[in-house]
Amino acid sequence: MRIAVLGLGAVGKGLLRMLAAKPELGLVLTAVADSSSACIEPGGIDPAAVLDRKSATNRCGTQGLTAEQVLDSGAFDVLVELTPTNAVTGEPALTHMRRALALGRHVVTSNKGPIAAAHAELQEIAAGQGVALRYEATVGGAIPVIHAIRDGLAGNRFHAITGVLNGTCNYILTRMDEEGLTYDQALAEARELGYAEADPTYDVRGIDAAIKLVILANTCWNLGVVLDDVAITGIDGLTVDALRLAAAQDCTIRLIGEASPDRGILRVAPRVLPRSHPLVIEGTLNAVMLSTDMAGECTLIGKGAGSVETASAIIGDLLAIRDRYVECG
Amino acid sequence: MVPLQVSMKLEMKDSPGQLVAALTPISEFGGNIIAVIHQREPDASSDTLGVQIVLEIEQDRLDALVAAIKRQGVSILRIGEERLLYRQSVIMIGHLIHTDIGDTIDRIDSTGFAEVAELNVQMPAITEPSTALITIKATTRSEMERALDLLRGVAAEKGLLIVEPLAEGER
Ligand SMILES: NC(=O)c1ccc[n+]([C@@H]2O[C@H](COP(=O)([O-])OP(=O)(O)OC[C@H]3O[C@@H](n4cnc5c(N)ncnc54)[C@H](OP(=O)(O)O)[C@@H]3O)[C@@H](O)[C@H]2O)c1
């Protein structure tokens, strides 16, 4: 199966490393683009050579070639969209994905922007073309939560989704709880360790978690909710005293995304949880609890980000597409 | 209407059908049985059965219920009431004192269906926001939800942050 990769940052590099390390997967790289170059080889590209070129020149291919030209070439079965997230417009990924789907190509992405903003539209184009749109890597990093909703728990009615969807916030709250650090101290530490961006606003204000909640909610219920529908409170106003007061009751505080159409709930907010609650997880981990009619409660816990971890989710999607659409030969 | 949580210690003949006879009036009067605890004494040579029941019922129906249970030939040894059933703690953060914490409490207390049972305020340096654990008691779950809604409104108005528990068993 031929794949084209747009975006060669942390996630794109992790994916190419795994393609190089696991040739037995049968995933053939035929095109790759970053913000200033591209490389198109319908016969196949050596992912290791692309990585070497990227680290030597900061370009993955020929300067001046673009993602648009990759799309024009049509030399791929699946487009893997890994450009930066724009939560408002979803661009440039949204345009890339629309074009690939319109060409009758499958799309796999780790990019939350277009999935949160235009899931229904993209899904409709995909269905019309008889191709797949898969986005496991957009939520919960390596955790196969979208697979669980769509496949493993297929046929269940979903009552609610609750989850820890942002590793940065979970790290900060874990440190405030365990070490009595102030919010500012814990944030500074998270930055130093590379767990928080230079501008952590999206994470600490709960926006990133809300985007992921929107994606999960639309996957479960297909009600077309958008970011604006989510009631969002971040963790940036929390005090050490709040964690201490919670601790005195054998509880702690975590940033929780919660969706339940039955109860009219769609919100992200810091919440008090008993320490024994399955969503009380440590550090940068993520967790999602699915409450269903047949399976009862099912909680998935795992690494919420990281280069190879996210590549794992992308490869899972690619292989699911291969098994479903591409004949083995 | 104010529902009560009532606990009753009953004594009845230890024969088939007696327990059902004792419990039937409860549902007839719109009561809701929360727990039934058998208290058969191990050395019981007596032919009576002790049962502790906990139920929820509208206040103005309690007397009629008691009479109906007695008519079944069941004696009520003890009866106790607890008005406020549900307790819920939330954490509040902000300039609690400057925004008149007394008023915040009054707004809950003056509802008549809920009250602030406990308040634990932590105060750091004067300019820093303070943090409090506030425990609310209410009679029913829906009244607790109304009290929390009221508190959310007060918090929004006063610019306070509320951290609520993630309810379990509400799914
Ligand atoms: N990092 C994670 O752990 C993680 C986990 C889950 C999901 N995600 C999501 O996955 C996506 C990629 O994340 P990342 O961490 O790899 O981001 P990143 O390190 O910022 O890399 C983004 C890549 O996209 C390229 N790019 C930007 N504009 C482009 C365009 N118009 N056409 C083609 N390429 C373009 C950049 O090119 P240059 O190299 O030339 O700058 C860069 O290679 C994001 O949407 C992110 O939210 C990330």
Question: Closest chain B residue to A158 measured between Cα atoms?
Answer: B171
Question: Closest chain A residue to B90 measured between Cα atoms?
Answer: A272
Known active-site residue A212: yes
Distance from Cα B150 to the centre of ligand 1, integer Å: 44
Q: Does A166 lie in the same domain as A130?
A: no
* CATH number of the domain enclosing A180: 3.30.360.10
DSSP state of B113: S
Number of domains in chain A: 2
Q: Does B60 lie in the same domain as B97?
A: no
Residue B4 has pLDDT above 80, yes or no: no
Asked whether B91 and B120 are in contact (CB, 8 A), the reply is no
A239 to B133: CB separation less than 8 angstroms, yes or no: no
- 10 Å CB burial of residue A22 (0-12, 13-18, 19+) is exposed
Residue B104 has pLDDT above 90, yes or no: yes
Which of B62, B81, B100 represents a domain boundary (last residue)?
B81
Q: Does B165 lie in the same domain as B92?
A: yes
Q: Does B57 lie in the same domain as B14?
A: yes
Q: Does A245 lie in the same domain as A220?
A: yes
Q: Does B51 lie in the same domain as B94?
A: no
The DSSP bridge partners found for residue B81 are B6
Which of B58, B81, B104 represents a domain boundary (last residue)?
B81
**pTM tops 0.90, yes or no:** no
Residue B125 has pLDDT above 80, yes or no: no
| CA B142 – CA B136 distance, rounded (Å) | 13
Which residue among A72, A82, A109 has the greatest number of ligand 1 atoms within 8 angstroms of its CB, and so is best to mutate? A82
Ligand 1 atom showing the smallest separation from residue A7 Cα: 24
Asked whether A137 and A317 are in contact (CB, 8 A), the reply is yes
Q: Does B129 lie in the same domain as B112?
A: yes
Which of B54, B81, B108 represents a domain boundary (last residue)?
B81
Number of domains in chain B: 2
Residue B139 has pLDDT above 80, yes or no: no
Query: Which domain, by its residues, includes B46?
Result: 4-81
Mean pLDDT of A278-301: 97
A245 close contact with B: CB closer than 8 A = yes
* CATH number of the domain enclosing B118: 3.30.70.2690
Q: Does A281 lie in the same domain as A183?
A: yes
Q: Does A192 lie in the same domain as A129?
A: no
Question: Atom 7 (ligand 1): residue with closest C-alpha?
Answer: A110
Q: Does A51 lie in the same domain as A194?
A: no
Q: Does A134 lie in the same domain as A201?
A: no
DSSP state of B171: -
Give me the pLDDT at residue B13, please: 86
Q: What is the dihedral of CA B153, B158, B163, B165, to 10 degrees?
A: -30
pLDDT digits (tens, 9 = 90+) for A41-60: 999 999 999 999 999 999 99
Query: Which domain, by its residues, includes A271?
Result: 149-303
User: Per-residue confidence at B169, pLDDT binned at 50, 70, 90?
Assistant: very low
Residue A89 has pLDDT above 70, yes or no: yes
CB-nearest to A273 from B94, B130, B166 is: B166
pLDDT digits (tens, 9 = 90+) for A267-281: 999 999 999 999 999
